[in-house]
Amino acid sequence: MARLGEFERIDRYFRPLAAPGALGLGDDAALIDGPTGEQLVLTADAIVAGVHFFSDDPADLVARKLLRVNLSDLAAMGAAPVGYLLTTALPASCDEPWLEAFARGLAADQAEFGIGLLGGDSVASPGPATLSLTALGRVASGRAIRRNGARAGDVVFASGTLGDGALGLKVLKGELPALAPEHCRFLAGRYHLPQPRLALGGRLAGLAHAMIDVSDGLVADLGHICATSGVGARIAAPRLPLSPAAAAAIAAEPRLIAAALGGGDDYELVFTAPGAAAAALSDLAAALALGITAIGEIVPGEGVAVTDRDGQPVAVAAGGYRHF
Amino acid sequence: MARLGEFERIDRYFRPLAAPGALGLGDDAALIDGPTGEQLVLTADAIVAGVHFFSDDPADLVARKLLRVNLSDLAAMGAAPVGYLLTTALPASCDEPWLEAFARGLAADQAEFGIGLLGGDSVASPGPATLSLTALGRVASGRAIRRNGARAGDVVFASGTLGDGALGLKVLKGELPALAPEHCRFLAGRYHLPQPRLALGGRLAGLAHAMIDVSDGLVADLGHICATSGVGARIAAPRLPLSPAAAAAIAAEPRLIAAALGGGDDYELVFTAPGAAAAALSDLAAALALGITAIGEIVPGEGVAVTDRDGQPVAVAAGGYRHF
């Protein structure tokens, strides 16, 4: 039997096991009762050397990305981070200097995000470095922003810029040799060190109807919002917010717009809100010095449709972003 | 540089990262504030095929053991289980039937322990199956039983029987060919399917001063209690509670007593309590139909000393149990 995709595997084998707080495994994180007036938010991700990161990536960046990817899931629920548990299964090649750098990366991000290590496990493995992190956050009771609240008529917004993560991976694989060095550095940095949008996520309660972070790609992740909300979405490709580096890459090679539509690893927030929220969002964008861009709208129906500058449909590869 | 042991790695690289609730990574689990009157308890363990379990072990038993090992950590804090997050990094050889069996094992234990899956991640890996589980429990505020409360004069107690896990592994490796088949089945079962002592752990608040579960071996794990409590312990080898199967194996080969002293994977509770608690513990043992055996005492000083039937010191390999 052919191996099912990971989404299908989760659907078939793990969703039936979900506890009520798991939200059907259909959200960025689980919600459980916390101290009075709060809910605790739990999420976990695993990464494998050679699959989700390069074996020779600097260990401090591997650590920080693993942590930030999980913090991004907390941000996507509107939660604030509390701490994390970490398990490492490491081959002999992850020696003491590697581990020292790995711990240094964690320490840097603990300071940056005001969190601490709560526990974990450290084991040896004959296989590739395999790292699993469970992040714990908190949110005011009833204020978590789910994926299932999008309504027809909502505007779709994205934070920051899209496509940088996927283009950064192309830079690291040597696939964009003609791009200016400063653009290459920027994009590689966006791939290696995502910025979880915790400040923004925490300010969107009462404004956003539905939210997700872009880990698998805009179309795939917005598709999760549409599927769980029972709606469709229309995205205008020319409105996607691009960094100068991504804009330069796409100007030189227009098909690279696919990185902004279907590429993953951006860890920006995509959310839906009524048009009336636009002024408040504009204020918020200014206060946070973070772009918030209207990129489309929620419509009745299903699925995510993308149009080009002439209003013509743009084909996007199904299934979202696939890792290298 | 030679690779440090996992304990040393945790000491050097991870302990400096510990949050206050992590209890210095020196306990079975972390404690954080929960709903009014409760604390939440968090613990994580990772296992790797070929290191912590056999690649051809039945997948349902792998799943259940992974879950139970974590539940045992909750039991060792006196906590009740709530749910868990699971990440799986699986090679192609873990096919759909494997995964179906794995999920079936989880479902069986979810029903048995009244818990549910809260989240996780499922990724492909070119390496051995690597599974990481974070378990969440709850305990009345201030009632968690730590490792650091042992006092000179306390009696050391153990639940159930010791050595079965390590002897079960020997059975599975074909190293006990002369042992009767029913004993072999019992020991292999104890290795594959530990019984987290949740009912006992939950009833020991107010009785036990310090507690741990036996995962690395009695001497190593009691040594953790001693180190964090600033005391020593004396254990009488003839008082160790043995199953009929373990007793038969040791009668035939006396050196196998090392399995009860230094072998891991028993997941029994070892705790210290004042001698005055003996009557209450006896009642508890009867109520739970679970043996609770006094095996030694806490003394001033440090380290765990073991004596034989003649009161002579027994040498125990340092560092506790090492996996195959």
Closest Cα in chain A, distance from residue B68 (Å)? 15
Residue holding tokens 């598709």?
A223
pLDDT band at B235 (very low <50, low <70, confident <90, very high): very high
Q: Closest CB to B125: pick one of A3, A48, A100.
A: A48
Q: Strand pairing of B80-90 and B130-140?
A: antiparallel
Q: What is the CA radius of gyration of chain A?
A: 19
Within chain A, which residues score under 50 in pLDDT?
1-2, 318-324
Closest Cα in chain A, distance from residue B297 (Å)? 29
Give the per-residue pLDDT at B3.
62
Strands of chain B, DSSP E: 30-33, 38-48, 80-90, 116-124, 130-140, 155-159, 210-213, 232-236, 269-273, 292-299, 303-307
Give the per-residue pLDDT at A27.
82
Identify all chain A residues contacting B120, using CB atoms and an 8 Å cutoff: 14, 25, 44
AA letter at A12: R
CB B64 within 8 A of CB B105: yes
Give the residue on B whose Cα is nearest the Cα of A94.
B3
Q: Closest CB to B122: pick one of A6, A34, A40.
A: A6
Structure tokens at B72: 């045992």
Give the per-residue pLDDT at B320.
42
B4 vs A309, higher pLDDT? A309
SS3 of residue B168 by DSSP: helix
* A32/B4 touch (CB, cutoff 8 Å), yes or no: no
Give the per-residue pLDDT at A24.
75
d(CA B76, CA B147): 9
Residue holding tokens 């299964």?
A89
B143 to B75, B140, B149: CA distances (angstroms): 12, 5, 12
B235 to B164, B165, B219, B232, B250: CA distances (angstroms): 18, 19, 9, 10, 18
ipTM reported for the complex, 2 dp: 0.92
pLDDT (tens digit per residue) in A223-248: 999 999 999 999 999 999 999 999 99
d(CA B98, CA B87): 16
Give the per-residue pLDDT at A22.
83
Give the per-residue pLDDT at B319.
44
d(CA A313, CA A306): 6
Give the per-residue pLDDT at B321.
38
Closest alpha carbon to B42 in B124, B105, B133: B133
Give the residue on B whose Cα is nearest the Cα of A103.
B13
- B139 phi and psi angles, rounded to 5 deg: -150, 145
Structure tokens at B54: 């056999």
- The dihedral of CA A79, A83, A89, A90: what is its sign? positive
* B102/A3 touch (CB, cutoff 8 Å), yes or no: no
Count of residues in chain A: 324
Q: Provide the b/e sequence for A51-85 (b: ≥16 CB within 10 Å).
A: bbbeeebebbbbbbbbbbbbbbbbbbbbbbbbbbb
Chain A / chain B CB contacts < 8 angstroms: 236
Identify all chain B residues contacting A82, using CB atoms and an 8 Å cutoff: 32
Best of A118, A131, A215 to substitute, by most chain B Cβ atoms within 10 angstroms, is A118
Give the per-residue pLDDT at B314.
87
CB A78 within 8 A of CB A204: yes
SS3 of residue B43 by DSSP: strand
Give the per-residue pLDDT at B322.
38
pLDDT (tens digit per residue) in B20-72: 888 777 787 899 999 999 999 999 999 999 999 999 999 999 999 999 999 99
Tell me the DSSP string of A195-233: ---HHHHHH-TTT-SEEEE-SS-HHHHHHHHHHHHT-EE
